[in-house]
Amino acid sequence: KYECFLLKNSDGFVPTEQDPEKLLSTTDIHDDLKEMLDSNKDSLKLEAMKRIVAMIARGKNASDLFPAVVKNVACKNIEVKKLVYVYLVRYAEEQQDLALLSISTFQRGLKDPNQLIRASALRVLSSIRVTIIVPIMMLAIKEAASDMSPYVRKTAAHAIPKLYSLDPEQKDCLIEVIEKLLADKTTLVAGSVVMAFEEVCPERIDLIHKNYRKLCNLLIDVEEWGQVVIINMLTRYARTQFLNPNMNVSTAGPHILYKEEKEKKKTEATAIVRRKPYVMDPDHRLLLRNTKPLLQSRNAAVVMAVAQLYFHLAPKAEVGVIAKALVRLMRSHSEVQYVVLQNVATMSIKRRGMFEPYLKSFYIRSTDPTQIKVLKLEVLTNLANETNISTILREFQTYIKSNDKDFVAATIQAIGRCATNIGEVRDTCLNGLVQLLSNRDELVVAESVVVIKKLLQMQPEQHSDIIKHMAKLTDNIQVPMARASILWLIGEYCEHVPKIAPDVLRKMAKTFTNEEDIVKLQIINLAAKLYLTNSKQTKLLTQYVLNLAKYDQNYDIRDRARFIRQLIVPTDKSGALSKYAKKLFLALKPAPVLESPFKDRDHFQLGSLSHLLNAKAGGYQVLPDWPEAAPDPSVRNVEVPEWTKCSSREKRKEKKADKPFYSDSEGESGPTESADSASDTASGSESGSGSEESGSGSESEESNEESESASEEDEEEEGKKKKKNVEKIKARKPVPESVQMFATICKPAWLNMQFLLNPLPVSVPQTIVPSGNLKTYELLHRITGEGLSVEYCFSRQPFSPDPHMVAVKIQFTNSATSEAKSLHVEDAKLQSGMRIKEFPEIEVLPAGETVSVVMGIDFCDSTQAANFQLCTHTRKFFVSIQPPVGELMMPIFMTENEFKKEQGQLMGMNEITEKLTLEEKCQGEHAIVQRVTTAANLSRVPCGSDKEFAGKTVTSGSLVLVSVVTKENGAAQLTVNCEKMVIGTMLVKDILQALTQ
C-alpha cells in the first residue's frame, strides 16, 4: 500500500495531487529517490528501485537517476540487484558513458564458479546496448561458447543476435561461434543457437549439413520454443537438399482449372520420362518421422510448425495427418483460431480432401467473433464440392439470417463463389440470391446485387427477368455500389430489356446530381450504351446527362463525359475511333472469376507472418523451390574419428548417461545406420573438448552443489566456505583476457569517471622503498647469453615518461672477454593492450663492466608476461618479464577514515578475506609491515590501529586496499579489497605466502 501511495505521489497519478507536483521540477522529485538509493539500508534502496521500475513500466522517464542507480549494481541484495539490471538494460543505450561503470561487475560475474551467475552476467552484459563494449561482448561470448555448462552456452547463443544487432560487422566472428555451438549436442543449446543462426546468417545453410541428423534426433527433447525455430529452419533446409516427393504424383486436384491441369500433366509426363522412380532420401524420411509426434504438442506454435513442414515437405499421401491436429487448435483462443484458419484456408485450396472429413468443425457458432466467422466461411467455401454443397448451402441459409451484417455480406459472397465453382448449383444459388433482393436489410440486398451481377455475366440470356427485377430495385436501393452494379447490368444487357432500359436512364438523369461518383460514372456508361443501341429514344437524354456531367465537380466524371461525347456523337471532325464505338462499348466481356483471396498464398511459408499478411515481412526467408536434382547427400555424413571408435567402455557408459534421459529416440534405430550413428558421432565430433564434454552431465551436477553453497556464501561470510571458493578461483587461469581487454579499451573514459564519482584522494607519489633489498630476477643467464647476463628488478619508482607503466630496472653485466655492442630491445610480442617503453640503446658494453637502464612496461594490470627480443650486434635473445602481482600497483596516500570509507564501498565480490597463522618471526608489527610491503608495492596508512595498506593499480588506477588484523597466538585475518577481483585473489595468495613463510 505504501508503495502504491508513493507511486501515485511521485508521478501525479492522482489528479488532485498533480498541481503541487507540477511546481516541483522532476529533479526535485527524484531527489528523495536518490537519497534512498544512497542510503545504507537495503530496504530503502529496494523501495526506491521498486518505485523507479514502476515508473519505467508506465513509460515515465527515469534516466536522470542513472548515476545513482548504477552505483548499486554490486549491491548484495538480490532483488535490488535484479531491479538495477532491469534499469540498466533499459537506459544504458541513452547513457553510454555511465553504463560503462557497471561493466566490470559483469565481467567479474563471467568468471564466477557458479554457472548460473556466469550465465546471468553474460545475459545482462550482452543486453547493454553500448557500442564501445562490443569487443568485450565478443570475447565474453566466445569464452562462454566453450563453457562447460550447457546453460552458459545457451546464454551465449542468446547473446549472439544481441551483439549482431548492435554491430553487424561482427558477423564473421559470430558465425564462427554459431558454427561451434551448432555442433553442441545438448538439447538446451540447440533451440537457442538455431534462433541465432536464423537471425545472423540464415543463408549459410551449409553450416547445417553436419548437424542435420543430430538436430532431427534431438528435436523432441528441445524446449517448445526452440522446436518451433528448428522446425521452420529445417523446412527451408529440406527444400534445398531433397527432391520433391510429389514429383511423380499428379498434384492437380479437380478444382484446379482444366488448362492448368493439362499443362501440369504435360510437364509431369516429361518428368516421368526423364527421371528414374523417386526414392525418398533417408534423411528426408528422418525429418518427417521425428517431427510427427510433435503434432501432439500442447503448444499451438509447435503444431503449426509441424503442419507447415508436412504441407511443404511430405508426400501427398502423408499430409493428411496434420488436419486432425489443426482442427484441434480450433478449440483454442480466438487469436490462435484466427491464425490457424488463415493457414487452413490456404491449405484447403491445394489439398481439399484433407479437411473434408472435418467439415462440421468449421461450422460457425453464434459466439464466434466476426473475423473468425468470415475465415470459417472462406474455408467452407473452399471445401465445397458437388457432394457436400447442399449441406453447406443449408448452413449458409441460416447464416444469412444472422444479426451480424458484415458476416451476412460475407456469406452472400461465399454463396456467389460456390455458385461459380460448382455449375450444378448455380441456378439454386441465383434463385436464393434473388429472394434476398426482397430482404428488408439494405446491406443484404446491396451485397446480393453485386454478387448477382457477377453471376449473371456468366449466362445473361436466360435471366432477363432477373435483370428486370433488379431494374425495379433502383427506386429503393441506396447503396452506391449496388446502384452502380444494377446500372452496369442494364447497360450491358440493354438488348434483353429494351423497354425498361431507357426508362431507367430517364429516372437516373433526374437524380444525376445527387448520386455518388461511381453511380454517376455508370449512368454515363448506361447513357452511352443506350445511345449506341437505341439512339432514337435516348439521344436527348444522353445529351442531357453528358451536359450535366460536363460541369460536375469531379474531374474523372468531366473527363469521362468529354471522352464519351467525342466517341459516340458524330461530328465532322470525329475521328476513326467513333466508327468502332459500338464495338468498344458493347464488346463481350469475360465473366469475372470469383476466387479465394487465399489462392497462391502458399508461396509464402505457411505459419509465417508474411503468409498471414500476404506480404513479405522484414527478415522473411523465401522458401526455395525443390531442386531439380538432389545435392550430394553425403555432406550430412559425420565422420567418426578413429579414436572414438576404439574409446574405452567406460567412455561409452558415460555417454549413455549423458544422453538426454528423456529422449525417446533411444530404442529406435535411424533410417539407415548412419542416422543412428549420427548422435554418437555428434558427441564424438567435438574431439577437442570431447572428454570434457562427455562428462558434462555429471560435472554440471557437481557444480550445482557448488553453486548452492556459493550462493550462500554471498550472504554468510564463513571463512571456511570462503576458502573453498577462493581455492577454486585460484585454480582458474590467472589472468582472464577479457579483463585485460577492457582496461585498454575503456581506459580514458573509465579513468575520468572513476575520478568523477569516487573522488580519490590526490596522491602524492610517495614511494616507500622497503628496507629489504629489491628482489632481482634473471632475464638472461650468463651461459645462454654467451657471457652477457641480464638481471632485472622492479624499482618501484614511478616511471616518469608514462605514469601508467611499471618501471623495470635492467642490469647488464658483460662477463665475456669481448665487448658487447648496441644492446637494444626489438620485436616485442605483447598481449593486446600491453605497451613497452624501451630503454635507450647501449652502444658499447666493455668486457667485465656492468650497466643499468630503466624501461617501462604497461602490463595492463595483468600478470601476463611481456615477451621481447634483446639484441646485441651479433645475436638476438628471446626474453620475457613476468611481474608478480604486487608490482602491478603503486602506493597512494590515504588517511584512516578514507581507507575505511573506500573499504566500505568495495564489499561483496570485491572483498576477499583469509584467516592465517602468522609465522613466529613476523608477529611483530614491524615485521608484518615489512613483509607486506615487500610482497606488494603498497604504502601503509599512517596512524592506523590495524595494519592497513593502500595502493592503486598502475594501469587502471583501481584501488587496492589490504588490511591485516592480528589476534592472539599469531592468528590473523587478511582482507584485500580490490575492484579487480583477479588481482585481489592473486594478491591475497602472495601476501599470505609472505606472512606465513
Partner 1 sequence: MIHSLFLVNSSGDIFLEKHWKSVVSRSVCDYFFEAQERASEPENVPPVIPTPHHYLISVLRHRIYFVAVIQSEVPPLFVIEFLHRVVDTFQDYFGVCTEAAIKDNVVVVYELLEEMLDNGFPLATESNILKELIKPPTILRTVVNTITGSTNVGEQLPTGQLSVVPWRRTGVKYTNNEAYFDVVEEIDAIIDKSGSTITAEIQGVIDACVKLTGMPDLTLSFMNPRLLDDVSFHPCVRFKRWEAERILSFIPPDGNFRLLSYHVSCQNLVAIPVYVKHNITFREGSSQGRFELTLGPKQTMGKGLEAVLISSQLPRGVLNTNLNPSQGTYNFDPVTKLLSWDVGKINPQKLPSLKGSMSLQAGASKPDENPTINIQFKIQQSALSG
Instruction: Indicate the residue among 410 and 497 with the shorter CB distance to partner 1.
Output: 410
Q: Binding of partner 1 at residue 720 (CB under 8 A)?
A: no
Q: Binding of partner 1 at residue 4 (CB under 8 A)?
A: yes
Query: β-pairing, 939-940 with 776-780?
Result: unpaired
β-sheet with 806-814: strand ranges across: 776-780, 788-798, 806-814, 850-858, 835-837
Contact region with partner 1 (CB under 8 A), list: 19-27, 263-271, 327-335, 590-598:
327-335
Letter for the amino acid at 754? Q
Q: Which of 667, 748, 759, 801 binds partner 1 (CB under 8 A)?
A: 667
Contact region with partner 1 (CB under 8 A), list: 336-344, 554-562, 786-794, 918-926:
336-344
Q: Binding of partner 1 at residue 333 (CB under 8 A)?
A: yes
Q: Binding of partner 1 at residue 171 (CB under 8 A)?
A: no
Instruction: Indicate the residue among 606 and 779 with the shorter CB distance to partner 1.
Output: 606
Residue partners of 977: CB distance under 8 A and separation at least 6: 902, 903, 906, 907, 910, 911, 912, 959, 960, 961, 962, 984
Q: Binding of partner 1 at residue 58 (CB under 8 A)?
A: yes
Contact region with partner 1 (CB under 8 A), list: 292-300, 503-511, 783-791, 871-879:
292-300
Q: Binding of partner 1 at residue 517 (CB under 8 A)?
A: no
Distance between CA atoms of residues 484 and 477, nearest Å: 11
Distance between CA atoms of residues 779 and 881, nearest Å: 7
Q: Report, in Å, the least distance between residue 965 CB and partner 1.
A: 30
Q: Binding of partner 1 at residue 205 (CB under 8 A)?
A: no
Instruction: Indicate the residue among 232 and 813 with the shorter CB distance to partner 1.
Output: 232
Q: Which of 135, 148, 173, 225 binds partner 1 (CB under 8 A)?
A: 225
Distance between CA atoms of residues 485 and 86, nearest Å: 60
List binders of partner 1 among 73-92 (CB under 8 A).
77-79, 82-83, 85-86, 90
Q: Which of 336, 548, 584, 842 binds partner 1 (CB under 8 A)?
A: 336
Give CA separation, 247 vs 280, 296, 316, in Å.
11, 29, 10
> Hey, is 690 helix, strand or coil?
helix
Letter for the amino acid at 145? A
Instruction: Indicate the residue among 11 and 552 with the shorter CB distance to partner 1.
Output: 11
Residue partners of 434: CB distance under 8 A and separation at least 6: 448, 452, 466, 469
Distance between CA atoms of residues 921 and 254, nearest Å: 102
Query: What is the end-to-end Cα distance of the chain in Å, rounded?
Result: 60
Contact region with partner 1 (CB under 8 A), list: 103-111, 302-310, 472-480, 910-918:
302-310
Q: Binding of partner 1 at residue 702 (CB under 8 A)?
A: no
Instruction: Indicate the residue among 149 and 457 with the shorter CB distance to partner 1.
Output: 149
Contact region with partner 1 (CB under 8 A), list: 245-253, 362-370, 487-495, 774-782:
362-370
**CA atoms lying within 13 Å on the CB side of residue 228:** 13
Joined grid coordinates for residue 939: 604504502
Find the radius of gyration of the CA atoms of the chain: 42
Q: Report, in Å, the least distance between residue 43 CB and partner 1.
A: 4
Q: Binding of partner 1 at residue 324 (CB under 8 A)?
A: yes
> Hey, is 952 helix, strand or coil?
strand
Contact region with partner 1 (CB under 8 A), list: 54-62, 131-139, 577-585, 978-986:
54-62
Strands in 650-729 per DSSP E: none
Q: Report, in Å, the least distance between residue 607 CB and partner 1.
A: 5
List binders of partner 1 among 587-616 (CB under 8 A).
607-610, 612-613, 615
Q: Which of 15, 277, 590, 618 binds partner 1 (CB under 8 A)?
A: 618
Q: Report, in Å, the least distance between residue 697 CB and partner 1.
A: 9
Q: Binding of partner 1 at residue 219 (CB under 8 A)?
A: no
How would you write 759-791 as a 3-class SS string?
CCCCCCCCCCCCCCCCCEEEEECCCCCCCEEEE
Instruction: Indicate the residue among 110 and 117 with the shorter CB distance to partner 1.
Output: 117
List binders of partner 1 among 89-148 (CB under 8 A).
90, 93, 114-117, 123, 126-127, 129
Instruction: Indicate the residue among 250 and 390 with the shorter CB distance to partner 1.
Output: 390
Q: Report, in Å, the least distance between residue 624 CB and partner 1.
A: 15
**Total site size for partner 1, rule CB under 8 A:** 114
Instruction: Indicate the residue among 621 and 758 with the shorter CB distance to partner 1.
Output: 621
CB burial class (10 A; 0-12, 13-18, 19+) of residue 480? middle
Which letter, b or e, does each residue of 537-564 get, where b requires 16 or more Cβ atoms within 10 Å of its Cβ?
bbeebbebbbebbeebeeeebeebbeeb
Contact region with partner 1 (CB under 8 A), list: 218-226, 581-589, 648-656, 740-748:
218-226
Q: Report, in Å, the least distance between residue 35 CB and partner 1.
A: 18
How many degrees, rounded to 5, is the angle at CA 584 between CA 579 and CA 586?
115
Contact region with partner 1 (CB under 8 A), list: 155-163, 168-176, 539-547, 925-933:
155-163
Q: Binding of partner 1 at residue 432 (CB under 8 A)?
A: no
Q: Binding of partner 1 at residue 699 (CB under 8 A)?
A: no
Give CA separation, 708 vs 711, 713, 730, 732, in Å.
5, 9, 20, 20
Distance between CA atoms of residues 128 and 840, nearest Å: 45
Q: Which of 215, 340, 456, 581 binds partner 1 (CB under 8 A)?
A: 340
Q: Report, in Å, the least distance between residue 42 CB and partner 1.
A: 7
Q: Report, in Å, the least distance between residue 705 CB and partner 1.
A: 10
Contact region with partner 1 (CB under 8 A), list: 42-50, 487-495, 755-763, 918-926:
42-50
Give CA separation, 746 vs 167, 749, 860, in Å.
18, 6, 12
DSSP 8-state assignment for residue 950: E
DSSP 8-state assignment for residue 16: G
Instruction: Indicate the residue among 128 and 936 with the shorter CB distance to partner 1.
Output: 128
Find how far residue 862's CA is from the centre of its chain: 35
| Backbone dihedral angles phi then psi of residue 389, each to the nearest 5 degrees | -60, -30
| Cβ neighbours, 10 Å, residue 773 | 9
> Hey, is 820 helix, strand or coil?
strand
Residue partners of 928: CB distance under 8 A and separation at least 6: 918, 922, 947, 964, 966, 995
Q: Which of 274, 365, 499, 589 binds partner 1 (CB under 8 A)?
A: 365
Residue partners of 888: CB distance under 8 A and separation at least 6: 806, 859, 861, 862, 863, 953, 954, 955, 983
Give CA separation, 941 vs 290, 634, 891, 895, in Å.
70, 71, 10, 6
Q: Which of 109, 416, 660, 671 binds partner 1 (CB under 8 A)?
A: 660
Q: Which of 299, 385, 428, 797 binds partner 1 (CB under 8 A)?
A: 299
Joined grid coordinates for residue 165: 544487432
Q: Which of 16, 131, 367, 634 binds partner 1 (CB under 8 A)?
A: 367
Q: Report, in Å, the least distance between residue 694 CB and partner 1.
A: 16
Contact region with partner 1 (CB under 8 A), list: 220-228, 544-552, 934-942, 966-974:
220-228
Instruction: Indicate the residue among 238 and 928 with the shorter CB distance to partner 1.
Output: 238
Q: Please check whether residue 409 is in contact with residue 433, taking contact to mean a CB–CB distance below 8 angstroms.
A: no
Q: Binding of partner 1 at residue 520 (CB under 8 A)?
A: no
Instruction: Indicate the residue among 444 and 962 with the shorter CB distance to partner 1.
Output: 444
Q: Which of 6, 12, 29, 56 binds partner 1 (CB under 8 A)?
A: 56
Q: Binding of partner 1 at residue 619 (CB under 8 A)?
A: yes
List binders of partner 1 among 940-979 (CB under 8 A).
none
Q: Binding of partner 1 at residue 704 (CB under 8 A)?
A: yes
Q: Which of 297, 474, 814, 963 binds partner 1 (CB under 8 A)?
A: 297
Distance between CA atoms of residues 793 and 813, nearest Å: 14
